[in-house]
Amino acid sequence: KKDFIIIAIDGGAAAGKSSTSRALSSRFNLMHVDTGSFYRATTVKLLEAGVPAEAGDALNAGLANLELGTYIDENSAYIVVNDWIPDESIRSEEVNANVSHYAAIPELRKFLFDYQREQATIAQEEGFAGLVMEGRDIGSVIFPDADLRLYLYADPAKRAARRAAEGLADSIEKRDAMDANRKTAPLSVPEGATLVDSSELTLEEVVEHVSGLVENAYQK
């Protein structure tokens, strides 16, 4: 039986990645990491510095000015950028509209690559029983060697309704199309990943189903 596992959860916007990951993290004592928040926080900082969403010297200089740290609260690890602990402003409509443009830039993804991998070491050092990391390319690029790779699917209308219920304007379909069609690390179902369709499932049902897969991953 394993004493530490890595779980990768990918999927489109508002597919239920965060709620599912959080539930798993408390159930199995895993460290939860939301990589979408890394792209969102970086976007806030680059917008603030007036750096346009394109590869080039301005972007490289903008990234060189960002120092990343990690802050752990209960079961989640959060990014710290130049001593700033990102708040709800990373979920603003402006960030929703810009984040996929920045996330498509290979240099920016490279900038966040090692930082994301390091979270596994931090989770082990902190004594967690594993890491659950959610994003778009976790099972395909960041942890292709994860013990369990899940792709959460929910049909676009359902996802738009879920996000609207949170009271936020977010053109989910536009963001998904950009994320799925970019050249570097596009949103895709990683090879060998388990597809979970939550269109007709409640969060509790999804967590129940996925918990069985997590238990199996520990036994392998």
Does residue number 139 form part of the binding site for ligand CDP (CB under 6 A)? no
Does residue number 35 form part of the binding site for ligand CDP (CB under 6 A)? yes
Using a 10 angstrom Cβ sphere, with 0-12 exposed, 13-18 middle and 19 or more buried, the burial of residue 177 is middle
167 is an annotated ligand-binding site residue: no
* Alpha-carbon Rg for the chain in angstroms: 17
Q: Which of 73, 166, 192, 220 binds ligand CDP (CB under 6 A)?
A: 166
Does residue number 184 form part of the binding site for ligand CDP (CB under 6 A)? no
User: Do 138 and 8 contact (CB within 8 A), yes or no?
Assistant: yes
Could you tell me the smallest distance in angstroms from the CB atom of residue 127 to ligand CDP?
Answer: 25
Does residue number 206 form part of the binding site for ligand CDP (CB under 6 A)? yes
Nearer to ligand CDP, 81 or 162 (CB): 162
- Integer Cα distance of 81 and 77 in angstroms: 13
Nearer to ligand CDP, 85 or 220 (CB): 85
Q: Which of 4, 18, 115, 218 binds ligand CDP (CB under 6 A)?
A: 18
User: Do 178 and 136 contact (CB within 8 A), yes or no?
Assistant: no
14 is an annotated ligand-binding site residue: yes
18 is an annotated ligand-binding site residue: yes
Binding residues for ligand CDP, rule CB under 6 A, total 28
Nearer to ligand CDP, 91 or 122 (CB): 91
Does residue number 13 form part of the binding site for ligand CDP (CB under 6 A)? yes
User: Do 78 and 87 contact (CB within 8 A), yes or no?
Assistant: no
12 is an annotated ligand-binding site residue: yes
Using a 10 angstrom Cβ sphere, with 0-12 exposed, 13-18 middle and 19 or more buried, the burial of residue 40 is buried
Q: Which of 24, 31, 79, 99 binds ligand CDP (CB under 6 A)?
A: 99
**Whole-number Cα distances in Å, 215 to 4, 149, 209:** 12, 13, 11
Residues of this chain that bind ligand CDP (CB under 6 A): 11, 13-19, 35-36, 39-40, 99-100, 103, 135-138, 162, 166, 175, 179, 198, 201-203, 206
Binding residues for ATP: 11-19
